[in-house]
Chain A
Amino acid sequence: MKRGVVLALVLASRVASAEELVVAADPAPAAPAFAPWQTARLALELELYSQARWTRRAGDDLSDLRLDRGELGGRVALGPCAAAELRLEAIRSAVEGGSLGIDGDSTVVRVKTAQITGSFALGERAPGHGAAPSLRLDGAIGFVPDPWIATLEDGYPVKPLSRTGSERLLAWPTSDLSALARASAGPLRLSISVGNGEGLRFPERNAGKTTTAVLELVPLHRGAQRLTLALVGRDGSLGVASVRDRRVGGSATLVTPWLRVGGEAIRAWGIGDRGAAQGTLLGGWAEGRVIEHAFVAARAATLGFDGGGRASTLGAAIAVEPWHAGRGRLRLWLAVDRLTTSGAAMPLPGADAGDATLVMLIASATAPFTLE
């Protein structure tokens, strides 16, 4: 089964790569499998997703305008091998549906990432691999992005539609007060982080640490085509009661100029702050370029609990891209998202109260700025 999935992804890559040859007459030179250490003196990035949402549910429909993501990050080089990075995000000060916030329920800014990073190249530079060393060691400490979420998002083009399944259904924190060590060699990269495990919401609340390890393999990386396979393991605890937070899983992402597809599968022991809950998450996404500046996308994620019951989200969208330059882009999306729950996944078993259909008009912008 797994071989079949990998084979299908490779075949898809080859089909897409044929299209790539039509678009780009000169294939890009071979590049390192993982992004090289950034040497820019200053790098800024602004990421905004704003949406107008109409929610259809049993009873009154809802409509509201939301800022789904508002992030501003800056990275300053500290010599050739170190950098300091700070990334801020906008969040609502009250919980959803609550009113205990700051000055009403204001949108406030909190730290999402605040890390000191370093990079060291070891060994000889590999011939034919540009500036990539044969072995690179990276490290970070502070509020460090979770290596699993970072790996997923690296090949996840539909962030404006929904967070990844891991983040949305398993409440996997996007960053944590932690220390990260990472080693890259050719197509392999191993990342290990050891942190509090409480994510952004709390400081450390128990004696245990949470360890996350991600092993990535890039078997295909040619021009704009890239296939990434990843494995993840996580073991740790949450809260004063040391609720278990244990995960094992993997993902595959394929990126081509015309098609991006991916999927994740996670086995979870302890979900949210329920130590007894166990389940399996499956997620998948795809984005295809129909014509220049026009895209279609779909995504789905489902979490099945061992005790019976399932929470699922299924979404689809069309998007236009009036502007892009490098990593910078502006897109407008028209999306529909369906939420369903059953059994133990229902907020109120027997009442079907968690089901809803969302129609969203989304404007998303990613705006990087670099000073070399």
Chain B
Amino acid sequence: MRSAAVGLVGLLGVVGCAGQPASREQAVVDAIANDNYVWTEREPALVAMKLRKMQRGPYEWMRGTASLYWRDLTEPGSPRAATAFGDPRSSRVLVVGDPHPENVGTFRAADGTMFVDWNDFDATGYGPYTGDLRRLAAGLVIAAHADAALGDELARAVATGYATQIAALAGDSSPAALVEGVHSLLDSELRKARTRGDAHRNLDEFAPVVDGKRVVAFGDLEPTAPDGVIEDRIEPAGAEAAAFVDRAIASWRVGRLDAAAATVKLRARRIGSGVSSYAVRRYDAVLEGASPAVEDDLLVELKETRDGVIVPGIAQREASEWDTPAIRSVDTQRRLQARDDGDVLLGAAQIGGLSFKVRDREAYQRGLSHEDLAALAAGDATHREELRALAALLGGALARAHGEALTADGVRGVTVIAPLLASREVAFADEVATVSVEAAAQITADHARFVDRDLFALIAGAP
């Protein structure tokens, strides 16, 4: 028996072609290849640009590798740090999925109130709240280019802000949206968003008025970067895409706008936004609005959406709670934000195999920049204190999102999270600081490993 086994293995050595030795590089390439498989088949040039964009810095790398992050966190088989603050119920909390600092942005509610909240719901799903929390803290550490001491402080500030907000929610405190007056950086963003939104800046940039009519400003709104990455380009949609944009708008507008107001005047493809979602299809459309006048035209974005966070190995139904990825994104945005009217145009449309999230594209919505956080970190003590305060605010905003939204079991998140943190806040901050700084170090090391490589050749290396 033994000799037969040896013979078999010897035979395989002759005939077979073994896989390469296991390595971190292999795991990264495999995850990125799988994450981008569909887009690589469909539009490889965009994937190549996305990868080059990821290589620009550790923060961009982090933005482009959310799926790798969740895989590292949840895939059985590799040693991972066990959390002391988890249990089955808290593993089914509604999570943002990718709550890094640049996925925080401004919104204008239906009553005109401007507020700051999470603004990217592509990766939402049910999962462990601790996964979201360490992603946020790691993002802050990377954005701030933090050394060990500052990184530890920022991660602890996130954890403390989170635990404080959870305790407040458990005490029946009503959560408040982040409005003007809570932080100078957020105030600045809110003011810019209001000013530019009131001026219809995005609409006029996309389709300026020429001789009394709007026309699409085809071309590069920003020059192509030296690394060949398209930064912001408007292209004709093409006949087929134009037809499905119109069908998507016709389906989306029901219950939001009457048919006349939702008449599509102009449509075009937009390339250049995002990092993780760089290669997805995005279309901007100008709608008629309340009257034929150009002043009340509306600008909406249709963005292709895919599945979000799915933790493998957990007993669950075959079917998702949501009919389509875009419906998930829309529903979870309303459930995770402090106000459910932050985008009155928010909706979903399904055209064939494409699932589109539709949202207001006007300048009322703008995101934070990691460069602003880096500037705070590089500043004096006052600036660093502002950064720590911002970290605590974002930790609190994440806690509010987790705590208020219903979990997969249909209960408020706070009811399953609060018992795990009660009277253990210091230990909680210790754990979050440790795992977040480690996650940031892993992301930075991964970026350094691939910064000079032809990443597209690695992931598209099929014969």
Contact = CB atoms under 8 A, between A and B. Distances in A.
Given A99-B320, A348-B74, 4 more contacts: A59-B407, A305-B76, A347-B313, A351-B128
A108 to B, nearest CB: 12
B92 interface: yes
A58 B407 CA distance: 13
6 contacts: A97-B311, A99-B319, A209-B17, A237-B19, A241-B27, A279-B77
Nearest to B30: A241
A104 B30 CA distance: 28
B30 to A, nearest CB: 4
A272 interface: yes
A292 interface: no
A64 B84 contact: no
Given A64-B318, A347-B313, A231 B5 contact: yes
A47 interface: no
B16 A211 contact: yes
Contacts of B91: 347-348, 351, 353
Interface in B306-336: 306-307, 310-320, 322-325, 327-328
Q: Which of A211, A239, A248 has the most chain B CB atoms inside 10 A of its CB? A: A239
B18 A246 contact: yes
Contact of B19 (A102, A202, A270, A339): A270
Given A95-B307, A98-B320, A350-B86, A248 B74 contact: no
Contacts, number: 264
Contacts of B77: 271-272, 274, 276-277, 279, 305, 307, 344-345
Contacts of B325: 99-100
Contacts of B18: 208, 235-237, 244, 246
Nearest to A350: B82
Contacts of A232: 8
B317 A348 contact: no
Interface stretch (B111-119, B290-298, B357-365, B453-461): B453-461
B171 interface: no
A100 B307 contact: yes
B100 to A, nearest CB: 21
Contact of B76 (A94, A102, A242, A311): A311
B79 A308 contact: yes
Interface in B123-176: 125, 128
Interface string A20-49: 000000000000000000000000000000
A346 B73 CA distance: 10
Nearest to A209: B17
A359 to B, nearest CB: 12
The number of chain B residues touching the other chain, given as a range, is: 35 or more
A192 interface: yes
A236 B19 contact: yes
B247 to A, nearest CB: 16
A59 B5 contact: no
Contact of A105 (B26, B320, B355): B320
Contacts of A351: 83, 86-88, 90-91, 128
B76 A309 contact: yes
B12 interface: yes
Interface string A195-213: 0000000111111111101
Interface string A305-341: 1011101000000000000000000000000000101
Interface in B1-37: 1, 4-5, 8-9, 11-13, 15-23, 25-27, 29-30, 33-34, 37
A102 B353 contact: yes
A152 interface: no
A197 to B, nearest CB: 9
B239 interface: no
Given A213-B12, A233-B11, A353-B311, A240 B317 contact: no
A244 B463 contact: no
B29 A240 contact: yes
Contacts of B78: 274, 276-277, 307, 344
Contacts of A246: 18-19
Contact of B27 (A102, A274, A344): A274
